[in-house]
Amino acid sequence: MMFECCTYYTGERSSDVNIEADSNDITAYENPRPYVCPVCEKRYVTKQGLNDHKVMHSEEDWCSCTQCEKRFINQHYLSKHMNIHSSKYKCTECGKCFRDNNRLAVHRRSHSGEKPFECTVCSKRFTTSADLVKHRRIHSGEKPYRCHLCDKVFSHSDSLNTHMRVHMGDKRYKCSLCDKSFSDPSNLQKHKRHAHSNRRPYDCRYCGKLFKSSCDLKLHVRIHTGAKPYSCRHCLDSFTQLGHLKTHLLKSHNEGTWFICHICLKKFTPSGDLKVHVRRHVGVKPYVCSECPKCFCSASEVKSHQLVHFNIKQFGCGLCGKGFKRKDSVKHHYKKCANKWVFP
């Protein structure tokens, strides 16, 4: 069953956000949130925002659409939704229907190619001012959305909403092939692609190696091109991945937050896997090999182990082409192999 409800921790409803929002309008997220829900302790900027949220705890008061399974917190949003079924705001190009004329006008730009909003820094153009506002934060580094539970900050409200589900234990996106569930639909898609599919549609134009995602391919190509797009603002070091830069800032310039194991007090960077480390302390091994009874602490460990069963050698030496099952094995071999070659 599908629901439409208010945006987390903002006092502002997701279905009432102005698509053509101005960049100067985003101030509520920096203000204190004095209104607290007595049921779940969520906080809001305005009393109206709190009242709208309280409806979520009494689902019998929600308004249901008679033509589909969607439900809404009040009659106003239901009336807007019914415009879709009545085809009041219908695109003449593709027949798609919208809840109001504003959304229809924005949609029409996808057919006309119109992008009236231009970034003054890089000249990139966008169909809506809201998209331009989000893009500007790439240049400014601004992160106006803050989680009041852990103080983590975000560039976009959608990212904050997804993050809040982690605190709430809300994993609404369930995998149809296993019992795993996720708080973010994009993570569900990644899970299906990596765990339940052997399809690798992305191939490297340099060496022909295949990848399951465009992101994995992009990272791999940097090995060939030598590109290191993430530069440290304190020194001359640069990195191929953002996670590596964050680790460098934390270790070399003391910028960031360490994650500490409560058992042995070992420190981990944000990119380090503290969860896997704690499993080793308590002896929890949730990942079971499908071919034998062996269990492992992480998904990467069980995947590496399964290569033994299938005799797959996915790591190749870039000098002699010899194949290996493990990444550390090919690294060790590469060092020996490099000593045998004479480079001009």
Alpha helix ranges (H) inside the chain: 47-54, 75-86, 101-112, 129-140, 157-168, 185-195, 214-225, 242-253, 274-282, 299-310, 327-340
Helix, coil or strand: residue 176 = coil
DSSP 197-253: -----EE-TTT--EESSHHHHHHHHHHHH----EE-SSSS-EESSHHHHHHHHHHHH
Among left, alpha and beta (phi > 0; psi -120 to 50; other), residue 169 is: left
The per-residue pLDDT for 199 is 78
Q: What are phi and psi of 134, to 5 degrees?
A: -60, -45
Both tokens of residue 141? 């580094």
- How far CA 236 is from CA of 224, 226, 228, 285, in Å, comes to 21, 16, 12, 41
Domains and CATH numbers, the chain: 3-168 (3.30.160.60), 235-272 (no CATH)
DSSP 326: S
Both tokens of residue 102? 């504003």
Question: How far, in Å, CA of 98 to CA of 102, rounded?
Answer: 9
Question: How far, in Å, CA of 93 to CA of 111, rounded?
Answer: 8
Both tokens of residue 54? 């309280």
Burial of 44 (0-12, 13-18, 19+ CB in 10 A): buried
Task: Tell me which amino acid residue 258 is.
Answer: W
State the CB neighbour count (10 A cutoff) for residue 93: 11
Which residue, among 292, 294, 295, 257, has the nearest Cα to 274 in the 3D structure? 257
pTM tops 0.75, yes or no: no
pLDDT tens over the chain, length 344 residues: 444 443 333 333 333 433 343 433 333 334 457 788 777 667 778 888 787 777 766 666 678 888 887 877 778 888 888 998 998 899 998 889 998 998 899 899 888 989 999 988 888 899 888 888 888 888 877 888 887 777 778 888 788 878 877 777 777 788 888 777 887 888 888 788 777 777 788 888 888 888 878 888 888 888 888 888 888 989 989 998 888 888 898 889 988 778 888 899 988 886 668 888 888 999 888 888 877 888 888 877 887 777 777 665 556 665 566 767 666 776 677 677 766 654 44
The per-residue pLDDT for 264 is 92
Q: Which residue has the tokens 């060496």?
A: 207
The per-residue pLDDT for 59 is 60
19's CB contacts (< 8 A; 6+ apart) are 102, 103, 106, 128, 130
